[in-house]
Amino acid sequence: TVSRDLDESLLQSFMDQVESAKIQENLKTLASQPHMATTEGDKELVKLLLNRWQDPQTGLDSASEDVYSVFLSFPDPQSPNSVTVVDNNNAIFSTRRSEKNVTADQAHAEVVQPYAAYAPPGNPQGRLVYANQGKRSDYQELVTMGINLNGTIAITRYGGAGRAAKAVNGAEFGVAGVVVYTDPGDINDGQASEEKTYPNSWYMPPSGVERGSYNEYFGDLLTPYYPAKGNMLLGRAGQGRAGSGIPPIPTQPIGFEDAKMLICNLAGSVAPTAWQGSLGCSYNVGPGFRTAGQFPNTSNVQVNVYNQRVIKNSSNVMGFIRGSEEPDRYVLYGNHRDSWVHGAIDPSSGTAVMLEITRVLGKMLKEGKWRPRRSIIFGSWGAEEFGLIGSTEYTEEFYSKLRARSVAYINVDISVFANATLRAQGTPPAQSVIFAATKQVQTPASPSVSVYDNWKNHFNRISPSYGVVPSIGSLGAGSDYASFIHYLGITSMDLAYTYDRNKTSARIYPAYHTAFDTFDYANRFIDPGFTSHQAVARTAGNVLLRLADSLILPLNVSDYGEKLDELYNVAAQGDFLANLIANKISLDPLKVALGRFKSAAADFNQRIKKLKEEDPLQIRMVNDQIMLLERAFLNPQAFPNKYHYSHVIWASKSSNQATFPGLADAYTSALETKDWDQVQKHLTIVVQAVDSAASTLEAVA
Amino acid sequence: TVSRDLDESLLQSFMDQVESAKIQENLKTLASQPHMATTEGDKELVKLLLNRWQDPQTGLDSASEDVYSVFLSFPDPQSPNSVTVVDNNNAIFSTRRSEKNVTADQAHAEVVQPYAAYAPPGNPQGRLVYANQGKRSDYQELVTMGINLNGTIAITRYGGAGRAAKAVNGAEFGVAGVVVYTDPGDINDGQASEEKTYPNSWYMPPSGVERGSYNEYFGDLLTPYYPAKGNMLLGRAGQGRAGSGIPPIPTQPIGFEDAKMLICNLAGSVAPTAWQGSLGCSYNVGPGFRTAGQFPNTSNVQVNVYNQRVIKNSSNVMGFIRGSEEPDRYVLYGNHRDSWVHGAIDPSSGTAVMLEITRVLGKMLKEGKWRPRRSIIFGSWGAEEFGLIGSTEYTEEFYSKLRARSVAYINVDISVFANATLRAQGTPPAQSVIFAATKQVQTPASPSVSVYDNWKNHFNRISPSYGVVPSIGSLGAGSDYASFIHYLGITSMDLAYTYDRNKTSARIYPAYHTAFDTFDYANRFIDPGFTSHQAVARTAGNVLLRLADSLILPLNVSDYGEKLDELYNVAAQGDFLANLIANKISLDPLKVALGRFKSAAADFNQRIKKLKEEDPLQIRMVNDQIMLLERAFLNPQAFPNKYHYSHVIWASKSSNQATFPGLADAYTSALETKDWDQVQKHLTIVVQAVDSAASTLEAVA
Ligand SMILES: [Ca+2]
Ligand SMILES: [Ca+2]
Ligand SMILES: [Zn+2]
Ligand SMILES: [Zn+2]
Ligand SMILES: [Zn+2]
Ligand SMILES: [Zn+2]
């Protein structure tokens, strides 16, 4: 049995047992009330997860609750946040304190008022300016237009820059407070009326407000690199990234109904065309209000933030299935549990899928029909919405053993954004297992079309090795995979069903992070019948089973070569190359390293084919090489100022050059600073990482 | 065969075949001429190593030469360094340019003149002061005595502080140049005459000068964290630890004959008693020379340094034996090859031993009698004397795979300091395998006494678990194990035969780093008959075979508990504890973590006993836990300013508190700065490391 391989009939049986009705039921339960991190609703879901995973008929081997004591930020129920227009010390206008009640859900007592988590309290007042998306370049543009930003309040729309960035950038220019809203042009395909929005369609109602976390780093901000847990907490006082990680100035999100009152009354010149939106007026940039508008042109805008810093206990719920042959190899699967409000789609659509997968696997396990070759660990993460906190603390707590033993991490957060096609993000080795799985799953629309083929129709690219294939996106830091890939270097992937981009340009599904993300919304507008949920459950479960049961890990290492080439090619042409040459920086060493990597990977795949299946140590050897390939790209010295980012290929970057992140940022910065030594440094770091990856795959002795 | 275990008869056969005469022969060849790193003598030894390891009858599976292009420092043959006494712009005294020729060896054309490698060129001149050992506290004491150190030249004796520290500390106090000498009280048990020193005894002659590297960090100074190799070198310009790592002021070592002229003529008050030495006069502290001495009291001392910075190719020679069952597990064994002059003892006594071990193993291999279970890698490192460069570049180049696959590293540099007893340094898991080996080796003096028993007579401690046992020392950064333990977290050990401390108080064997460290010296005074060399070869080879062939790795993880307790106990009593309590820092979390670790280790050892030997994946699982235990103590974020130091238990420290290094340094510093948050931070880092180690040993699923 040490050489037993994946059982295709079991795989089929798993998929057959995945029921859309069960997922729907799960979602109804999970989204029945708000369950923001650490609230009563969240605690009830902790119990639900434990119950399910400890169920004698359909549970796992074991489950446990892991509690971390983490730094969160909540609005003050006694002093609601607001944005007001102030004239002669009188508030003559105030934004709504809550979203409009349209389906009773919005009136639930536990609906949290809209706020920007971690934004500092304060009541700055000033002339209002419209700063587009709050990018550095947006503020710069206002300055170029002759506007003095000092002491102003900037209203910005979601998109373009991260939430925190809008405040960080603004503060650099002297802005005193930031207001953020969602433009109907960005989220509603332009629709802005009550008639055309939820509950009458999937679009965001005029009162809808996207909540969110405005911190700069992921993980508990007070305990970087160590778990916010029991023994460690005494150290917290001395350890925070003191004063860092939280926005520098008060910030508050509002709905577009309120934003319209502010923006459509602005004075000043007309904003650039690209800045215009769908509020139904011409956007001026300010500063201040125009004469003959709704407000006296002497009036200011005030941002009133009363957020409170709190330390609260947040739980991860962990579920385990012990591997039979290789218990010390872990396949990880997770999603967060906490929402902003009811969170039907974010994250409960993913949790509903995870619970259906664990129900079917648990049943197979308890019936004695199956036990995986490798161990499987499920994580229901806490406090993701505040900054991927539960998953990051978990990786910090178990850094050594996760790094040594983890085969891959599968993340399914929002499982269905829309019901058109699969969307996958991941690192290159994940491609092969995702392709294998999706070829075996039918689309909801037609049993004769595979998820793979449908996906290929929506998102594709031409692969030098395979021709036209579905295109897998890169992992940023948008969900709980972040710490697994960036900090631990574990091959990771994120799966979901998503939009037909011919049908909507919505930045994300319109009820995202609002009080309208409810079971009713999901059931009527996102995935009626829950067949897309079912397809995601089958796909993710199929991937999970392949990773857990295949004798040889189903991760094709040679697929990294294509991605590395692609990143290399961006630097090896045009202005980028010309500037390197002008500064005596040669890409040749990188080219040599890439050649070495590709040849090592090809040889490795040849050696696998010749392996004797009876020799368990030979099998283990190649599996270790596959598993550790991703780890070879880690360099803890590469980005000393970027918390938790060690992966040389996927680290965050601010440059828009689509090459290796350290190289891209150093290059973009050198164009101004002339610091080409930094460019050479980051090139060297990439060469070393690629060499190291090649070494991992080359014959071991 | 996947479950084959160590063959005791093979082990015995190996030991029987180790010949003292062969080691003597090796040493004679290796030390026949100077072989400083990258010189002709070094290149010839590269060839010799390759020839031996590629020999068809007694060679290994393969051998290769790995070239790194590294930053070295050499004196200028055209402008020899010196220390002069200058009066009215006339040099009225100068130190010797070379050591006295006493056995013809010293007259070899390739003998490098004494110098302080990496000391910057310059000719500072000033009043001479005697600064004892050049510790911070020594300079501080001079200031307390009312001496203005600004612009002075400090003469210091070897010992107490590292070579570089004497200059770094001095520069902080305004010292302009440093002279270093070896006091006969520290090296010669007080003997200072020609009659009582080499070639008439093992003591250092009056003209002897200890050379050495005066850099602050180990590894090539221009390529921190990446290999100084081929593709990477283009990046060097932008990557040096610019201006750091090399001494801040000109520095020159001299012999005690010359030092006597300087020190015995000093003016000023009498130096403290602890500062007095054996030059045959009362040591005054200066500044300047006394009236009525050898020199006018107006004269200054000038340090003349003409060292040149050069980039040269330095080679590691690597030898490989492929493992039969687990080729992807590496047992590493190494020593440097480069010397300062003839280097009979340092390092050739170790190389002579390594060559005898590889001869016997190679023979067994080529005769088809043996192939190890795991792969064995031998390293003959280059440029160790300049700062452990070859071994560090190797660990940088193969960081990922060495970290993933290395079972242990055995270092035998100087194999015989003296012929009285074994001396071992290592981390706790090494204890069990060293004990097992030494019990099987006879002492040179008597076949009825084991190396183990003799060792226990010389160095012992009371172990809470085992009673009286030989005492194993800690690994600093004195030889090539440094990067393996501190940077990669690989269980490491260093073995040698050494002094009877009742017979000599010499800081180290007196010919160390001088032109007197010759075959004649070794043959007549260190180990006549080479039986101590033989005992070391048998011991190290026995350890190597056990690590390579044992089914279960012979490293007892529970021995770490004793060491952790010992470090904990230092902090948990007396002033240390009182100060922690006064600053609201609790050791309880650490105590809890230690309890968890010890219980996990004990349970782990119980589980091993119950393992089925037929299940290769179960065996591999526990072996991986053993192998990776040491890695769990690594924390790349723990010491951001200490290059290559990541191991939380063994990192370098400047405090003399014998507890965890980060905690010790933070505590000592907090006594002055009141920065108790740093103490809490380092306590948290230790707790996390111990928790992580416990996690590694706990049941995997
Ligand atoms: Ca943390
Ligand atoms: Ca280097
Ligand atoms: Zn989410
Ligand atoms: Zn979310
Ligand atoms: Zn040495
Ligand atoms: Zn040495």
Smallest Cβ distance to A617: which of B325, B677, B684? B325
Question: What is the spatial order of strands in the sheet that B374-381 belongs to?
Answer: B62-74, B308-321, B374-381, B326-336, B406-411, B492-498, B421-426
The verdict on a CB contact (< 8 Å) between B232 and A687 is yes
Going from the Cα of B101 to the center of ligand 6, the distance in angstroms, rounded, reads: 21
- What is the rounded CA–CA span in Å between residue B661 and residue A225? 19
* Orientation angle between helical segments A8-17 and A350-366, nearest 10 degrees: 130
User: A26 phi and psi, to 5 degrees?
Assistant: -55, -50
Ligand nearest to the CA of B210: 6
Q: In this predicted structure, which of A356-360, A679-683, A695-699, B532-536 has the lowest mean pLDDT? A: A679-683
Residue A226 distance to chain B (closest CA, Å): 7
Rounded Cα gap, residues A156 and A58, in angstroms: 49
Distance, CA of A255 to CA of B679 (rounded, Å): 47
pLDDT of residue A233: 62
Q: Give the pLDDT mean for B565-580.
A: 98
Residue A396 CA to ligand 1 center (angstroms) comes to 6
Instruction: Put the strands of the sheet holding B251-254 in their side by side order.
Output: B128-130, B153-157, B177-181, B251-254
Please give the Cα distance from A115 to A95 (Å, whole number): 12
Question: Would you say the C-alpha torsion B221, B224, B230, B231 has a positive or negative sign?
Answer: negative
Among B238, B692, B701, whose Cβ lies nearest the Cβ of A375? B701
Contact B400 A616 (CB under 8 A): no
Q: Is the model's pLDDT at A244 over the cut of 80?
A: no
Please judge whether B232 and A624 are an interchain contact, meaning their C-beta atoms are less than 8 angstroms apart.
no
Q: Which two tokens stand for residue A311?
A: 């330390």
pLDDT 10s digits, A30-68: 999 999 999 999 999 999 999 999 999 999 999 999 999
Tokens 């183990």 found at: B452
pLDDT band at residue B234 using 50, 70 and 90 as cut-offs: low
Give me A507's structure tokens: 């930045």
Number of C-beta neighbours around residue B476 at 10 A = 15
Specify the DSSP class assigned to residue B540: H
Burial of A539 (0-12, 13-18, 19+ CB in 10 A): buried
B-chain residues near A673 (CB < 8 A):
none
A373-A374-A378 Cα angle (round to 5) = 130
Residue of B321, B315, B351 lying closest to B334 (CA atoms): B351
Q: Name which of B264, B539, B238 is nearest B415 in CA terms.
A: B539
User: Which residues from chain B sit within 8 angstroms of residue A325, using beta carbons?
Assistant: 617
CA angle B641, B644, B649 (to 5 degrees): 90
- Could you tell me if B557 and B696 are in contact, meaning their C-beta atoms sit under 8 angstroms apart? no
Least Cα separation, residue B376 to chain A (angstroms): 9
| pLDDT given at position B614 | 79
User: Which tokens go with B140?
Assistant: 């501080």
Q: Tokens 């829950």, residue?
A: A530
Q: What is the pLDDT of residue A237?
A: 45
The pLDDT tens digits for A382-427 are: 999 999 999 999 999 999 999 999 999 999 999 999 999 999 999 9
- Which runs of consecutive H residues, i.e. helices, occur in A222-349? 256-263
Verdict on whether the full-model pTM lies above 0.95: yes
B534 near B519, Cβ under 8 Å? no
Is A345:A351 a contact under the CB 8 Å cutoff? no
Give the model's pLDDT for residue B3: 83
DSSP state of A304: E
Rounded to the nearest 10 degrees, the angle between the axes of helix A40-53 and helix A350-366 is: 20
Reported as a pLDDT band with limits 50, 70 and 90, residue A234 is low
Distance CA A449, CA A441 (A): 9
Q: Please give the positions of B annotated as active site.
A: 384
pLDDT at A613: 76
Neighbours of ion ligand 2 (CB under 5 A): B 220, 223, 228, 396
Question: Quick check: B687 and A231 CB within 8 A?
Answer: yes
| Residue pair B73/B308 in contact by the 8 Å Cβ criterion | yes
Rounded distance from Cα B221 to ligand 2 centre (Å): 7
- pLDDT higher than threshold 60 for residue B237: no
Position A239 confidence tier, pLDDT thresholds 50, 70, 90: very low
Query: Would you state the pLDDT for residue A74?
Result: 97
pLDDT band at B244 (very low <50, low <70, confident <90, very high): confident
User: Rounded to the nearest whole angstrom, what is the distance from the C-alpha of residue A115 to the centroid of ligand 3?
Assistant: 17
Residues B168-193 have a mean pLDDT of 98
Query: Do strands B460-463 and B467-470 pair parallel, antiparallel, or not at all (unpaired)?
Result: antiparallel
Mean pLDDT computed over A103-122: 97
A683 with B235: Cβ contact below 8 A: yes
Instruction: Give the pairing type, strands A300-304 and A251-254.
Output: unpaired
Of all helices (H) and strands (E), which one includes residue A598? helix A588-609
The alpha carbon torsion through A76, A80, A82, A85 (nearest 10 deg) reads: -130
SS3 assignment for A67-132: EEEEEEEECCCCCCCEEEEEECCEEEEECCCCCCCCCCHHHCCCCCCCCEECCCCECCEECEEECC
Residue A658: other Cβ atoms inside 10 A? 14
User: E strands of A466-582, at which residues?
Assistant: 467-470, 492-498
CB contacts under 8 A, A 390-409 vs B, are: 397-401, 404-405
**Chain B hits for A617, Cβ within 8 Å:** 2, 325-326, 616, 620
Distance A58 CA to ligand 3 centre (A): 26
Percentage of the residues of chain B whose pLDDT score is greater than 70? 98
Q: Which two tokens stand for residue B566?
A: 């010992």
ipTM of the complex: 0.95
Give the CA distances from residue B559 to residues B332, B460, B466, B650, in Å, rounded to whole numbers and listed in that order.
21, 16, 10, 15
Rounded Cα distance between B237 and B213, Å, is: 22
Q: What is the pLDDT of residues B269-294, one digit of tens each?
A: 999 999 999 999 999 999 999 999 99
- Estimate to the nearest angstrom the gap between the alpha carbon of A113 and the chain centroid: 23
Query: Is A632 at the interface with chain B, CB within 8 A?
Result: yes
Residue B693 pLDDT greater than 80, yes or no: yes
Confidence of residue B337 (pLDDT cuts 50, 70, 90): very high
**Which 421-460 residues of chain A touch chain B by CB within 8 A?**
none
Picking from A407, A663, A456, A438, the residue whose alpha carbon sits closest to that of residue A557 is A407
pLDDT band at A2 (very low <50, low <70, confident <90, very high): confident
Q: How far is B432 from chain A (nearest CA, A)?
A: 24
d(CA A114, CA A98): 7
* Cα separation, A155 vs A167, whole angstroms: 10
Mean pLDDT taken over chain B: 96
Rg (alpha carbons) of chain A, rounded to whole number = 26
Q: B407 and B488 in contact (C-beta within 8 Å)?
A: no
